[in-house]
Structure 1
């Protein structure tokens, strides 16, 4: 598999511009291609708008200390905008083409057909879709062995994660090349099968709906729900993944808590899935058993716990919060008390 050196993005909207920002910042020349046919005047205005948006996002990061503002000009020079009529020039030499057009059948079919027609045979095509499955789009791509989904999370230039979803025909070398490229530009790729919602959207749609229900039911205000997420849910799971946390506390704890919630609310959505019960029956409850969703048998558990606790403490410091003083230290809280416990 040849090295990925030249990149194009077919679609210069919000996602395309975010990807362009990210790639240019990483040192790559990137071609952003307008997927719509426009008059000369409309294209000129659109091009200036796109450039201005990338400039604004770079400036915002520089203003808060992300990098030296003096580098903005050089970064912007690596972002090249093309009208749809010029797509052939941009795609002819691309090793990797991201498709970032609106989420409609017509737009996807048209874009993928155009990319397949104009890009060279060896080019890899990656859709950035958040809704379509790779198994559906692969058939429209004309090159299923060199096609996959690469779902960037907005804002693309800030969120590290990219969900990479191959189809059954995707060449393993293509998957490896895309993952390696994403890692090289500072992203964190995860691979998942073609399934509705991928990983993050599937998790977050449940969490967001439950948060809305809490407000709807009068359980708490929107402000307090979001404060609970920032200083509890989000804080905890920025250190321990959801499955890692199940192992940390014990799968049986989740089972009993879920049973209580299902009984108390009468809602089946709180019931545990079969895999948790299967792990319990097999004696794989997590850390204390040496196995759970992860295998801990070759780990020194005390060291693992200390390492994770150290990261928790770093998160407190990052948020300008702190642990409460010991009983003999004297004095009270000196930082924001809302997150000190």
Structure 2
């Protein structure tokens, strides 16, 4: 298990991360990134601890874990004022930065890390908009810095997108990955690019859903039912690229061409990699090669495993009915 964890910024993201790491057995220090007088800090401290305890109580109430563990978990969380930064960051193995999304706030936070954090500590920004390659210039030790983009609510969603800068060491990536996996999180690695992975995909999907309503194609309620019981259910089992390989890249290729011609919108055109795969005959499972290599895969076993997972999802949705006999 990694050592002590610190969160630089005691707002919503810092509190969510503190919940997750304390639940996972780590001592965690929440450091207020704003200067406040004693009265205002006491208010912030109380609000932060109350919010974390409240989210723990909610999950326990939903059957997530035994509520008797809450006092032990809360005992691992400390909240510090800005003028106690050295004390808050002392012994920290990883410092998650969660200050507002402005370059000025990031610069102040990175300078504070450089001044007060231990020599071997990792600085993991949680920015959802800035690139690790841009932020690297704000620290004297870019080799110990990267982005770790948690998805809200941070204490519940497993995925964390890790995005190193050009100087980030492999050892730092491995340390952060191991700590997150120890919490039950699912860290993935992506190159520094606008939108990362999830925000980039969901931005397109959300805008397209809004356009469907705007064009009068369907109501907001039916669009969301389509997502919950179709789109989301399927992609909760198969990733987007895995789904392409399941059905066949040729289906996506021809459907995309049709949509582009029918709507006149270039956004529906097939991606170049889909066109290249078509030219090479790499259409997925049935050809043995697509985005994934299926040359050593037993296709029937693979399908059965995925269908079993689909069945579990349908059962969980409440839509699985017994047969009429």
- TM-score grouping bracket, smaller chain normalisation: over 0.9
Q: Look up the match of 1:23.
A: 21
314-323 vs 260-269, which moves further? 314-323
Secondary structure of 2:92 counterpart: coil
Give 1:324 shift: 6.5
Task: Choose the corresponding residue for 1:93, options 79, 91, 98.
Answer: 91
In 1, distance between residues paired with 2:92 and 2:322? 55
What RMSD in Å do the two structures reach over aligned CA positions? 0.9
Q: Look up the match of 2:246.
A: 248
Give 1:320 shift: 2.1
Task: Choose the corresponding residue for 2:45, options 47, 51, 65.
Answer: 47
Task: Choose the corresponding residue for 1:273, options 271, 274, 288.
Answer: 271
In 2, distance between residues paired with 1:288 and 1:240? 16
Q: Look up the match of 1:316.
A: 314
Q: Look up the match of 1:257.
A: 255
**TM-score normalised over the length of structure 1:** 0.94
In 2, distance between residues paired with 1:100 and 1:142? 19
In 2, distance between residues paired with 1:148 and 1:307? 36
Q: How does 1:277-292 map to 2 (within 5 A)?
A: 277-292=275-290
Give the gaps of 5 or more residues in structure 2.
none
Q: Look up the match of 1:187.
A: 185
Give 1:74 shift: 1.1
Secondary structure of 1:276 counterpart: helix
In 2, distance between residues paired with 1:275 and 1:254? 12
Give 1:4 shift: 2.5
Q: Look up the match of 2:159.
A: 161
Secondary structure of 1:7 counterpart: strand
Task: Choose the corresponding residue for 1:61, options 59, 62, 74.
Answer: 59
In 2, distance between residues paired with 1:54 and 1:124? 24
Give the gaps of 5 or more residues in structure 1.
331-341
Q: Give the 4+ runs in structure 1 shifted more than 2 A.
A: none
Task: Choose the corresponding residue for 1:10, options 8, 14, 18.
Answer: 8
Give 1:316 shift: 1.2
Q: Look up the match of 2:133.
A: 135
In 1, distance between residues paired with 2:139 and 2:225? 44
Q: Look up the match of 1:112.
A: 110
Give 1:262 shift: 0.7
Give 1:92 shift: 2.3
In 1, distance between residues paired with 2:290 and 2:130? 32
Give 1:323 shift: 5.3
Secondary structure of 1:67 counterpart: coil
In 2, distance between residues paired with 1:324 and 1:60? 33
In 1, distance between residues paired with 2:15 and 2:175? 23
Summarize deviations over 1:221-261 as a string: whole Å, max 9, x none: 11110000000000000001000000011111101100111
Q: How does 1:192-341 map to 2 (within 5 A)?
A: 192-322=190-320, 325=323, 329-330=324-325
Q: Look up the match of 1:334.
A: none
- How many pairs align? 325
Preserved contact between residue 3 and residue 91 of structure 2 (Cα < 8 Å):
no
Preserved contact between residue 2 and residue 179 of structure 2 (Cα < 8 Å):
yes
Secondary structure of 1:95 counterpart: strand
**TM-score normalised over the length of structure 2:** 0.98
Q: Look up the match of 1:36.
A: 34
